[in-house]
Amino acid sequence: MVSSGLGKDFFDRSVLDVAKDMLGVSICCRQSDGKITRMIICETEAYDGEEDLACHASKGKTSRNQVMYGASGVIYIYLCYGMHWLLNIVCREKGYPAAVLLRGTTEVSGPGRLTKRLGIDGALNQKVASCENGLWFEDNRSGEIVIETGPRIGVDYAGKYWAEKPYRFWFSKPKSGA
Partner DNA sequence: ACCGTGATTGAG
Partner DNA sequence: TCAATCACGGTT
- Residues in the site for DNA, rule: CB under 7 A? 45, 47, 54-56, 59-60, 62-65, 68, 76, 78-84, 86, 88, 99, 101, 110-114, 152-155, 157-158
Instruction: Evaluate whether 15 touches 91 at the Cβ level (below 8 Å).
Output: yes
Complex with DNA: residue 55 or 135, whichever CB lies closer: 55
Nearest-approach distance from CB 127 to DNA, in angstroms: 15
Complex with DNA: residue 159 or 174, whichever CB lies closer: 159
Coil, helix or strand for 6?
coil
Beta strands in 23-155 (DSSP E): 26-30, 36-48, 75-80, 84-90, 98-105, 135-138, 145-150
Nearest-approach distance from CB 145 to DNA, in angstroms: 22
Q: Cβ contacts of residue 1 below 8 Å, gap of 6+? A: none
Complex with DNA: residue 26 or 65, whichever CB lies closer: 65
